């Protein structure tokens, strides 16, 4: 048995070995080609944001960086309050994320480590809400915000999703599988308060899950478009995507300026993603598979 396994070519014994050497080369070409197609728009974005329209529309189009970055930047700041929108987006996403981490970890902890009447039914209901598409309540929820006096404020963007079904489900899965009950029992015998147990015993253990949820939540909120578009009226309250969506009509002709604005929304998030991609992807993966 053992010799059979060992005599097999390396790696061939586990998952499917797809092809011979030529086939493997072809697979790498497919993978690399796809990765290039995926990456090219990012390269185009960086290059084009340093050119004026007259250069961009030349044939062949510029494939290397130009000298117009400063001029485009100055015009971008003229066209819209870029930095105000940028910091608005940062503030909204950051506050929202902190509250999501707090309320979803509490909810997940409640479902994972307590046995109380109605728990399973409540949890099934929570999962079912994940299947309800967002647009169904879009119009009336706008009326609700209006009744609350929340139009043209950041509250509709920050508050409704802080205890969301996805985040609670996510934290429950993690806490259930990785926090031993003995940890809490020990603390309870010592007479610790439940809030104290959450904060001193649970939170330190679930930092990896909190980190993945934080990145996911922050990116989602940063890119959120429809709701801020509906809610925000005054330009100085705009988030970055809403501000960018006005660029086409404001500065329809200067392509480099538009692309530079897009760069401002994409680059910071991309840097965050690349620096944390491993944890981030493994986080999503864990949530997805356990979710099935």
Partner 1 sequence: MATQTVSMDARARAQDRRVMWREARRNGWAYLFISPFYLLYAVFGIFPVLYGLWLSFHKWDGISPMQWNAAQNYLKLLTDDIWWYTIYNTIWLFFGATVPQLCLALLLAFIINSSTIRGKDFFRAAYFMPIVCSAVAVSLIFGSMFGERYGMLNFALSAVGIPPVDWLGSAAWLKPSIAMVTVWQWTGYSMIIFLAGLQAINLELYEAARVDGARTRDVFWHITMPLLRPVILFQVILSIIGAMQTFDLPVMLAGGTQSSAPGGTDRAGLVAAVLLYWTAFKYTEFGYAAAMSFVLFFLIITFSYTYNRFQGRNPTE
CB of 174 to partner 1, least distance (A): 15
**Which residues neighbour 17 within 8 Å (Cβ) at sequence distance 6 or greater?**
9, 11
CB of 74 to partner 1, least distance (A): 18
Nearest to 230 by CA among 165, 134, 164: 134
**Residue 142, Cα to own-chain centre: how many angstroms?**
24
Nearer to partner 1, 71 or 246 (CB): 246
In the list 127, 138, 155, 207, the residue contacting partner 1 (rule: CB under 8 A) is 138
Nearer to partner 1, 54 or 207 (CB): 54
Alpha helices in the chain (DSSP H): 2-7, 21-48, 53-56, 69-79, 82-113, 119-129, 138-148, 155-158, 165-178, 181-189, 194-197, 203-205, 207-223, 226-231, 240-245, 247-250, 255-275, 277-291
**Cα atoms in the Cβ-side hemisphere of radius 13 Å centred on 94:** 6
Q: Which stretch in 31-39, 71-79, 173-181, 203-211 sits in contact with partner 1 by CB under 8 A?
A: 31-39
In this structure, what are the phi and psi dihedrals at residue 47, rounded to the nearest 5 degrees?
Answer: -70, -45
Q: Which stretch in 13-21, 64-72, 78-86, 206-214 sits in contact with partner 1 by CB under 8 A?
A: 13-21
Of 206-265, binders to partner 1 (CB under 8 A) are: 219, 222-223, 225-226, 229-230, 240-242, 244-249, 255, 258-259, 261-263, 265
CB of 28 to partner 1, least distance (A): 8
Residue 48 in contact with partner 1, rule: CB under 8 A: yes
Residue 128 in contact with partner 1, rule: CB under 8 A: no
Q: Which stretch in 66-74, 77-85, 90-98, 280-288 sits in contact with partner 1 by CB under 8 A?
A: 280-288
Tokens representing 223? 């890119």
Q: Which stretch in 64-72, 73-81, 109-117, 175-183 sits in contact with partner 1 by CB under 8 A?
A: 109-117
Handedness of CA 261, 247, 39, 212 (dihedral sign): positive
In the list 2, 3, 6, 11, the residue contacting partner 1 (rule: CB under 8 A) is 11
Residue 135 in contact with partner 1, rule: CB under 8 A: yes
Of 150-209, binders to partner 1 (CB under 8 A) are: 159-165, 168, 194-195, 198
Of 86-105, binders to partner 1 (CB under 8 A) are: 103
Residues in the chain: 292
255 touches 105 (CB < 8 A): no
In the list 79, 84, 141, 192, the residue contacting partner 1 (rule: CB under 8 A) is 141
């Amino acid at each position: 048995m053992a010799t059979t396994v060992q005599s097999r070519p390396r790696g061939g014994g586990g998952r499917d070995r797809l092809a011979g050497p030529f086939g493997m080369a072809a697979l790498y070409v497919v993978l690399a080609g796809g990765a290039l197609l995926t990456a090219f728009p990012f390269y185009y974005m960086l290059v084009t944001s340093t050119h004026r329209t007259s250069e961009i529309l030349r044939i062949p189009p510029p494939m290397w960086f130009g000298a117009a970055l400063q001029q485009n930047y100055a015009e971008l700041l003229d066209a819209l309050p870029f930095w105000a929108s940028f910091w608005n987006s940062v503030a909204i996403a950051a506050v929202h994320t902190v509250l999501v981490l707090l309320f979803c970890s509490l909810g997940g902890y409640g479902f994972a480590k307590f046995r109380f009447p109605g728990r399973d039914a409540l949890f099934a209901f929570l999962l079912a809400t994940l299947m309800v598409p967002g647009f169904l309540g879009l119009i009336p929820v706008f009326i609700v915000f209006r009744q609350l006096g929340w139009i043209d404020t950041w509250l509709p963007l920050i508050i409704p999703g802080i205890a969301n079904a996805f985040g609670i489900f996510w934290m429950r899965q993690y806490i259930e599988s990785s926090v031993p009950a003995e940890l809490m029992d020990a603390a309870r015998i010592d007479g610790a308060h439940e809030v104290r147990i959450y904060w001193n015993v649970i939170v330190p253990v679930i930092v990896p899950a909190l980190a993945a949820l934080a990145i996911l939540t922050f990116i989602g909120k940063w890119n959120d478009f429809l709701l801020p578009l509906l809610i925000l009226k005054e330009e100085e309250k705009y988030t970055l995507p809403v501000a960018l969506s006005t660029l086409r009509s404001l500065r329809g002709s200067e392509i480099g300026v538009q692309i530079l604005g897009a760069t401002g929304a994409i680059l910071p998030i991309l840097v965050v993603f690349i620096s944390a991609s491993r944890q981030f992807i493994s986080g999503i993966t864990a949530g997805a598979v356990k979710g099935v």
